C-alpha cells in the first residue's frame, strides 16, 4: 500500500526494503518503464503504453505526493479518451471544487485507500462470481455469505478486523473489501448465468471448449452486468470510508466525523460533497468505459 500512497522514492530504504533506492536503481526503473512502453507501442497498443507510463509515474512519486496539475492532466486525458471533452470538462470542474475547498489532501488519501480496496474487491469478487456461475456448489456456499455481509450493520464488520490487525489503514482496507466485494460477486454471477441458452448451445456446437465458452462468449455478453458490478463496488467502497474512519483513516471520512463532533456544518458538508463528487466522477468514468468495451466487442467479437 505504501508505494501507491507515498511512492517508491520515499518508501524504499534500508530500514524497510533492505537497500537504498540509488540513482542507478532509479535509472533502471525508468528504463524498464520505457522499455515496456516501447514494446506496447511496437505492438500498436498505444493506450497500453500510456497506461504503463502513468502507472510508472504514480508508483515512483506516490498518489498523495503528486502535484495537483499533474493529476488534473492525467484525469483529463483519461476522461477525454473514454468519452470526449464533455466528460473531461465536468471532471475538471469537480476536481476544482475539491482543490479550492481545501480538502485536496484528504481527497487523495480517500482515493488511495478506496482505490486499492475497489481494485482488490472487484478482482476477487469477479473471480468468485465466475466460479459461482460455473459451479453450483460454490454458489450455494457464497450465497449465505453474501447475504450476511450485505445485511450486517457496517460497524460490526470492523470488529473482527480490529481484533486481529488493530487500528490502522490495513484494517480499514479489509473492512472496505468485506463490504464492497458483495456486488462484484452478485453481478458477475448474475450476468454470466443470464447469457442466453441458445448462444451457449451454438458456441458448444461450433466446438468451443469450456474455457473458450467462458472467455469468448459468456464474459463479453455479461460485460454490462459486470461493469455495473464495478460501479456498485466503487459506490459501496466510498460509502464504507466514513465507517472506516473509526479505525484510523485520515481522509474525507475523518473530516465528516470532525464536523459531527464539533457541530461544524461547513466542515462536514464540504467533506460530504467531496465524497459525492468522487462517487459521481467514478460513476461517469465506469459508465463511459463500459460503453467503450461493449463497442469494442460488438465491432470485433474475436477480440
Q: 7's torsion region: left (phi>0), alpha (psi -120 to 50) or beta?
A: left
Give the long-range contacts of residues 4-7, CB within 8 A, separation 24 or more. 4/58, 4/59, 4/62, 4/63, 4/112, 4/115, 4/116, 5/62, 5/63, 5/64, 5/109, 5/112, 6/62, 6/64, 6/65, 7/58, 7/59, 7/60, 7/61, 7/62, 7/65
DSSP 43: T
How many residues comprise the chain? 303
Clarify whether residues 295 and 150 are in a common domain.
yes
For residues 285 and 175, state if they share a domain.
Answer: yes
pLDDT of 55 higher than 90:
no
What is the share, in percent, of the chain residues with pLDDT greater than 70? Answer: 97
Q: How many CB atoms lie within 10 A of CB 182?
A: 23
Residue located via cell numbers 464536523: 259
Same domain for 84 and 52, yes or no, is no
CB count in 10 Å sphere of residue 206: 10
Q: What is the mean pLDDT of residues 153-182?
A: 84
Query: Which of 162, 180, 176 has its CA nearest to residue 247?
Result: 162
pLDDT at 294 over 80: no
d(CA 260, CA 90): 30
**Radius of gyration, CA atoms only, the chain:** 21
Q: Are 175 and 247 in contact (CB under 8 A)?
A: yes
Cell output for 234: 466503487
Q: Verify that 77 and 111 share a domain, yes or no.
A: no
Same domain, 83 and 225: no
Longest CA–CA span in the chain (Å) reads 67
* Nearest-angstrom CA–CA distance, 16 and 169: 18
Same-domain status, 61 and 73: no
Angle at which helix 219-244 crosses helix 154-165, to 10 degrees, equals 80
How many angstroms separate the CA atoms of 303 and 301, rounded? 5
In this prediction, residue 70 has a pLDDT band, given cuts at 50, 70 and 90, of confident
Torsions phi, psi for 81 (to 5 deg): -70, -35
Rounded Cα–Cα distance for residues 148 and 133 (Å): 20
Does the structure show a pLDDT above 60 at 100?
yes
3 and 106 part of one domain: no
Statement to judge: residues 163 and 221 lie in one domain: yes
pLDDT at position 297 is 65
The three cell numbers of residue 70 are 499533474
Grid-cell match 482505490, residue found: 115
Residue among 279, 129, 113 at smallest CA distance from 214:
129
Establish how many alpha carbons lie within 13 A of residue 243's alpha carbon, considering only the half-sphere containing its beta carbon: 22
Structural domain containing residue 290: 101-303
Do 59 and 113 fall into the same domain?
A: no
Interval 31-49: pLDDT, tens: 998 898 888 888 877 777 8
- Cell representation of residue 283: 460513476
Per-residue confidence band for 64, with pLDDT thresholds at 50, 70 and 90: confident
CA dihedral over 119, 124, 127, 129, signed as positive or negative: negative
Q: How far is CA 252 from CA 1, 66, 76, 189, in A?
A: 18, 18, 23, 33
The CATH number assigned to the domain holding 233 equals: 1.10.3720.10
Q: Identify the pLDDT of residue 298.
A: 62
Q: Are 237 and 96 in contact (CB under 8 A)?
A: no
Residues 222 and 289 both lie in one domain: yes
Are residues 268 and 192 part of one domain?
A: yes
Number of domains in the chain: 3
- As a whole number, the mean pLDDT across the chain is 85
> Are 91 and 45 in the same domain?
no
Amino acid at each position: 500500500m505504501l508505494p501507491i500512497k507515498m511512492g517508491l522514492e520515499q518508501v524504499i530504504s534500508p530500514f524497510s526494503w533492505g537497500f537504498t533506492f540509488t540513482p542507478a536503481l532509479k535509472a533502471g526503473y525508468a528504463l524498464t518503464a520505457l522499455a515496456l512502453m516501447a514494446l506496447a507501442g511496437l505492438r500498436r497498443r498505444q493506450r497500453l503504453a500510456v497506461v504503463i507510463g502513468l502507472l510508472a509515474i504514480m508508483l515512483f512519486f506516490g498518489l498523495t505526493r503528486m502535484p495537483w496539475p499533474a493529476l488534473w492532466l492525467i484525469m483529463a486525458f483519461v476522461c477525454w479518451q473514454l468519452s470526449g471533452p464533455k466528460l473531461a470538462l465536468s471532471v475538471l470542474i469537480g476536481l476544482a471544487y475539491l482543490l479550492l475547498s481545501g480538502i485536496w489532501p484528504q481527497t487523495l488519501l480517500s482515493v488511495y485507500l478506496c482505490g486499492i480496496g475497489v481494485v482488490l474487491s472487484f478482482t476477487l469478487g469477479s473471480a468468485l462470481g465466475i466460479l459461482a456461475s460455473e459451479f453450483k456448489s460454490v454458489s450455494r456456499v457464497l450465497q449465505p455469505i453474501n447475504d450476511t455481509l450485505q445485511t450486517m450493520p457496517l460497524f460490526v464488520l470492523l470488529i473482527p478486523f480490529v481484533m486481529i490487525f488493530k487500528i490502522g489503514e490495513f484494517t480499514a482496507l479489509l473492512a472496505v473489501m468485506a463490504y464492497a466485494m458483495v456486488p462484484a460477486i452478485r453481478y458477475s454471477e448474475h450476468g454470466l448465468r443470464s447469457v442466453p441458452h441458445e448462444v451457449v448451445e451454438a458456441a458448444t456446437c461450433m466446438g468451443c471448449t469450456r474455457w473458450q465458452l467462458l472467455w469468448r462468449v459468456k464474459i463479453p455478453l455479461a460485460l454490462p452486468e459486470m461493469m455495473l458490478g464495478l460501479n456498485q463496488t466503487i459506490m459501496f467502497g466510498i460509502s464504507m470510508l466514513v465507517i472506516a474512519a473509526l479505525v484510523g483513516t485520515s481522509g474525507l471520512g475523518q473530516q465528516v466525523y470532525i464536523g459531527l463532533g464539533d457541530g461544524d456544518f461547513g466542515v462536514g458538508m464540504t467533506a460530504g460533497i467531496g465524497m459525492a463528487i468522487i462517487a459521481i466522477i467514478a460513476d461517469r468514468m465506469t459508465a463511459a468505459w463500459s460503453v467503450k468495451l461493449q463497442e469494442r466487442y460488438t465491432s470485433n467479437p474475436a477480440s
